[in-house]
Structures are given as C-alpha cells and as structure tokens.
Structure 1
Amino acid sequence: MWQHLLKMFVLTPRSQKQVFGTMSAALRNFRSTLRNEFILHYKPGSKALRFPPKEFKHIGTDEWRLFVKKTFKEEFKAKSEKAKERRKKNKYNHRLGSSGYAGLLKRKQKELGGMLKDIDRADTWLLGRKKKNGEYDDDVKEIAEKIKELKQMVEEGLFVPNGCADILTAALDKRPNGSRVQGVGHFITTSTYFNKPMGKASEKQEAEKICDRRYAMMAQRFDELKAQISAFVASDIGSCSIATKSPTC
C-alpha cells in the first residue's frame, strides 16, 4: 500500500504513520455515512438494501450485502450504542465538521482575505467550539475566560508559555497526549507541533517582548515606590521621623 502511494504522491518516510492514520479516519467516516444515510433508515432484509446506492456504484454487490449484514448484527449495534454513550460524555464538543481545524483555518483565511498568519492553538480551539451565533456552550465559556486571563498574564510577564506548557494547556489543566494536540487536529503529534524550529528573527522578537514586559513592570513598580516615599516624607509622620538639630515635634 505504501509503495503504491509513493507512486502517486511525494511523501517522506516519517509521514507513513500520519498518512495511514488519515486514511483510517476517512474510511471510518465513509462507513459511518453509508450506515446512517443509506442503511439504518430501513429494516433488515428490505429490498432497498439489496444493491449499493447509485452514488457509490463502485462498491461491489457482494461487498455491499456483507456490509449491510454486519451493520444489523447485534454485536455491531451494541458497539455503536457504546460509542454514542461515550460521545455524550465528551466535554467541550467542537463544531468543526469533517474538514477539521484545517478547514476551519482555510475558511478563516478566506474571510480575512489571507491576512491570517500565526494563530495560537488556544484561539483555534475556541474557534472550533463557537456556535453560529458567536456564543459558546457553558463549559467552553469557562475555558474562554481562563484563556483571556492567561493572555493578560502573558502581556504582564506573569506567565511565560513554554513548549506544550502553553496557554491552552494551562486553561484546560491538561497536557496534550502523544497522539494529538488540542486545537490543532488529528495526527499532529506533540513532538511535531511543539518542536518546530523557530527562526532567529522570531527568537529575537520573542526575547525582546519578554524584556520589554519585564522592564515595564519594573518601571511601574519603581514609580509606585517613589510615590509612596514622597508621600511618606511629605507627611507629618515623615517629618517627625527625621532627626534634626532643632526638632520641630
């Protein structure tokens, strides 16, 4: 299979696992579409199920009938119900559709006229869970508030994202696992996403931002202390506390 794909596409050996993972997910989605749209509307043995749908004439009749038979097996139904129950327990349900985060960012690029460049995965995570009316579910709202607070802390130099210990990790209180990164999509591993080489210009800009934030905080603190000292010296208590040859108090 891999050799056949290499004849059709330019692929690196390291991408083999990711390619097969994508193919596997696509096949699962296709089977799910066939079951939900062309099989489960009918009763077992229905004449409408004797042949594959006109839209999928490339599916052989024998292959189709075997697939239909498996779909109505009690074993499959039990497995399907179990999957439904598991999905109900999912928190922070997304609204990405079949195109995933890649499709979401593509649509966003089109909306902004190609102005979208680097976007934090916390932002894509939220975009993927936004309703059509621009609102979030209650559980997502809580995370949105945390993300807002953490971004403010980054601006103030109180929180410095480092690798996978970034804003979204802190907001969800959950580190990305080895197989997927929240806010990015399937088959993007932590090592692939977080170990991307940063150009020298980007490193310099990031270092300058951190220095500027820290300098601004120090300057603000210095001004506050200066104001406190001035107020203290100008007060009666301050005047009485200074030793002079002719005490006034």
Structure 2
Amino acid sequence: MPDIAKMQSEGVKVPIKFNEYGQVIGTMRSKLGSMIGSTIKRCASITYASWDKVPKSNKEKFWEIIKATFDIDHKSKRKIMSRAAKRWRSFKSHLTKVCIYDVLDANPTIKTFNMPRGYSQLITKTEWDEFCVSRMTDDWKKIRKIHQDRRKKNKHNHHMSRGGYLLALERLQQKKFGLEVSEIDRSQLWLAGHSNKKGEPVGTEATSVARNIEHYTKLMSEGKFEPDGSKDVLTMALGTPESRGRVRGIGLGVTPSQFWKTPLSSKKKGKEFEASSVEARFAMMEEKYRQQEEIMKQQQEMIKRQKEMMRQFMEQMKGQHSGFGGSSHASVPNYGSPIDQVTPSHQASPKSQHQPLAPPPP
C-alpha cells in the first residue's frame, strides 16, 4: 500500500466514507480492509483461543494504528473491531486448513508441520508449535466437525470477488443512477452475488431462488404481496427466515434493527443508550482536552511574546543609559519644587507675607 505509506509520511490521514448503514464505501474501502487484515495479524497472536481471549491492550493498540492512519470517527470503532475479529479468525482458519489438515490429508503419518512461508515476521517458532498442538486436540477436532457440518448446509454459495455485496451495490447504483442502498431491493443484490459475469444464476439452487424472486417481485408490483419487515421478497424466495443479528444479501455489519428500522427491546435499548452515552462522554472529554491544549498553546505564545517585548525594552533602556556618558544614573536637571513653580496672581509675594505688621495709630 505505497499510497497509504506516502500519506502517512506526509502526516495526512486517509479519508473514509460510510453509507447510511455504517458500511465503508468508496475508493479507500479495499485499502482499509487490507490495513485491518495486516495490522490485526501483528497485534493479536494466533495462540489465543478466541477473540475474547485477546487482551484489551492489544485491541487498543490495533485501534490506535487504524485511527492514526485513517480519518475515521470514534463511533465506527465497534464495526472496525468486528471486521478485525473476522479477519483474525479467517487467518487462523486458513492456517489450520492449508498448513495443517491439507498436509495431514496428503501424509497422515506426519507429526510436525512447517511454518508457512512469508509469516516469519508475524509468527514465532514457539507460537507456531503451540498453534499446531492446539489444532490437533480432540476438543478442537470436534469443533471443526461441527463447523464443517454447518458449512455443508449452506446451499447458496456466492460468486463475488473481494468487494463482496458492497462492490455489487456500487455496480447496481451505477445502473440505477446513484440510488441509495435503502432504495435498492436486497433481492437484487442477492442475485448479483450469486450470478456469473453474464448475469446468469450459478447452479440449480440459485436458479430456483431467482425464479422465486421474479415471482414475488411481480406479485408486489401487482399489489398482491406486501413486504412486512424481514418477510420481504428475498426471505420468501429463499423459503427460510432471517437469522438473528444479521441480514442476508446486504453485506457485513448491517443489523436487522438498522435495515428494517425495528424498535429495540427495552433491555437492549438500555445497553445501546449506555454505549452511546459512554461514546458521547468520551468525545466530550477529547474535545475538552483539545480545547485545553489550544488554551495552553495560546498562553505559551503570549508568554513568548511578552518575553520578547521585555527583551526589546531592556535593550532600549540600555541604549538610553549609554547615551549619558556611560553613567548608570542619568543626570536630571533641577527645576525646583512644583509648589515653587506655581505662583498664582492673587497670592502675595513671599516678602509681603513675612513683613511685620505696623503698630496701630495712637
């Protein structure tokens, strides 16, 4: 990422844009994704059993690096950390499959596994050995089997590049003359993600869903079907309800409450309010600290100016003193007392004041 490195060297933060659901969009979306992936690998060791086990200090270090590189608001921290957790888990899964179990499938008698090339600066020999041991335990093999069985139930594999649904959305917006994401039916995004370059659904399952989408879209246009929350065209076409906490066909990071504007439960409202309150207080503290720094800076500048004025004044006084023959005390002419200088016209002269009084006549 030479362009980001150049901006870092110049002290410029990379600007980031978000859509109405808080998803990163624009030309820097892929740059942010790459930065998140490469940074979290350095901040979180693969030896931690889960994301919850990663120390908070490591996560904060990661966030500070991202915040120092990108012009990103503190409100986006939760979504950024969620993406980091996903990248970290995907990295561990990749190492487990490619470097351990694929090797075992080729040679079941192997006991040691070589460290993957190109990761010597991220993973130490001790960490790699510990990671390999953790992946060979009976408990881990059971967990792996559960996830494999769950993965087999997924009948609809998408055929999107690294850009995912957001890239598909950008392409649809170009065709739809820049419509907002909320103005595009998610069933169209789902179709875009499960079609080939010619726009044809891939596989019999996707073809069947495409026909269902066409059917319910027609019913909706005729007024014979009205979407109700999550029971929209895509849900009816797939034939399965939405899972809790996510929305299909719209990309990562979008919650049902965001997408369908459903009200939160009272318990969750309290948590959301508490989180937003903490974020607001944090933002206020940051702003107050910034203002204090600005005031201190202004005071320092004022003191500096005062010192300079004092220095100039002393230089000027020194020059005046040197003009009186080098004496440290300038000779001041004696102009008399101020009282002596003032002699009002109606006041008697000093002589008349002290002349003795004449005796009274006989």
Fold shared, TM-score > 0.5 on shorter chain: yes
Distance 1:113 1:135 in 2: 19
Work out whether residues 159 and 195 of structure 2, in 8 Å CA contact, stay in contact via their aligned partners in 1. yes
Distance 1:109 1:172 in 2: 21
Structure 1 residue aligned with 2:154: 90
Structure 1's 45 and 121: CA in aligned 2 closer, same or farther, altered over 3 A? Answer: same
Structure 1 residue aligned with 2:89: 28
User: Gaps spanning 5+ residues in structure 2: where?
Assistant: 1-55, 105-109, 263-362
Structure 1 residue aligned with 2:99: 38
1:125 to 182, 190, 200: 190
Structure 1, residues 14-47: CA drift from partner, whole Å, max 9, x if none?
x44433322221111111222223333435433x
Structure 2 residue aligned with 1:67: 131
Work out whether residues 52 and 59 of structure 1, in 8 Å CA contact, stay in contact via their aligned partners in 2. no
Counterpart AA for 1:19:
I
Structure 1 residue aligned with 2:122: 58
Structure 2 residue aligned with 1:146: 212
1:189 to 233, 255, 271: 255
Distance 1:98 1:169 in 2: 25
Counterpart AA for 1:122:
S
Q: Report how far residue 122 of structure 1 moved.
A: 0.3
Q: Report how far residue 189 of structure 1 moved.
A: 0.3
Structure 2 residue aligned with 1:219: none
Work out whether residues 159 and 196 of structure 2, in 8 Å CA contact, stay in contact via their aligned partners in 1. yes
Structure 1, residues 132-178: CA drift from partner, whole Å, max 9, x if none?
67233223322211210111122222223344332112323444333
Structure 1's 86 and 141: CA in aligned 2 closer, same or farther, altered over 3 A? Answer: same
Structure 1's 162 and 27: CA in aligned 2 closer, same or farther, altered over 3 A? Answer: same
Tell whether 2:140 aligns with 1:76.
Answer: yes
Structure 1's 41 and 163: CA in aligned 2 closer, same or farther, altered over 3 A? Answer: closer
Structure 1, residues 214-237: CA drift from partner, whole Å, max 9, x if none?
xxxxxxxxxxxxxxxxxxxxxxxx
Tell whether 2:164 aligns with 1:100.
Answer: yes
Structure 2 residue aligned with 1:11: 73
Map residues 152-171 of structure 1 onto 2, 5 A cutoff.
Answer: 152-171=218-237
Structure 1's 70 and 45: CA in aligned 2 closer, same or farther, altered over 3 A? Answer: same
> For the pair shown, which has the larger CA radius of gyration, 1 or 2?
2
**What is the DSSP-based 3-state SS (H/G/I as helix, E as strand, rest coil) of the residue aligned with 1:160?**
coil
Structure 1's 88 and 52: CA in aligned 2 closer, same or farther, altered over 3 A? Answer: closer
Structure 1's 109 and 157: CA in aligned 2 closer, same or farther, altered over 3 A? Answer: closer
The count of corresponding residues between Structure 1 and Structure 2 is 191
Structure 1's 3 and 42: CA in aligned 2 closer, same or farther, altered over 3 A? Answer: closer
Q: Report how far residue 96 of structure 1 moved.
A: 3.4
Structure 1's 122 and 114: CA in aligned 2 closer, same or farther, altered over 3 A? Answer: closer
**TM superposition outliers: structure 1 runs of 4+ over 4 Å:** 1-4, 112-116
Counterpart AA for 1:101:
Y
Distance 1:33 1:114 in 2: 37
Distance 2:176 2:215 in 1: 28
Work out whether residues 95 and 130 of structure 1, in 8 Å CA contact, stay in contact via their aligned partners in 2. yes
Counterpart AA for 1:96:
M
Distance 1:55 1:3 in 2: 23
Which region of structure 1 is more displaced relative to structure 2, 161-170 or 148-157? 161-170
Work out whether residues 201 and 210 of structure 2, in 8 Å CA contact, stay in contact via their aligned partners in 1. no
Structure 2 residue aligned with 1:242: none
Aligned-residue Cα RMSD (Å) equals 3.1
Structure 1's 117 and 68: CA in aligned 2 closer, same or farther, altered over 3 A? Answer: same
What TM-score, normalized by structure 2, do the two folds share?
Answer: 0.45
Distance 1:113 1:152 in 2: 21
Work out whether residues 52 and 64 of structure 1, in 8 Å CA contact, stay in contact via their aligned partners in 2. no
Distance 1:138 1:149 in 2: 17
Distance 1:120 1:144 in 2: 13
Distance 1:95 1:62 in 2: 38
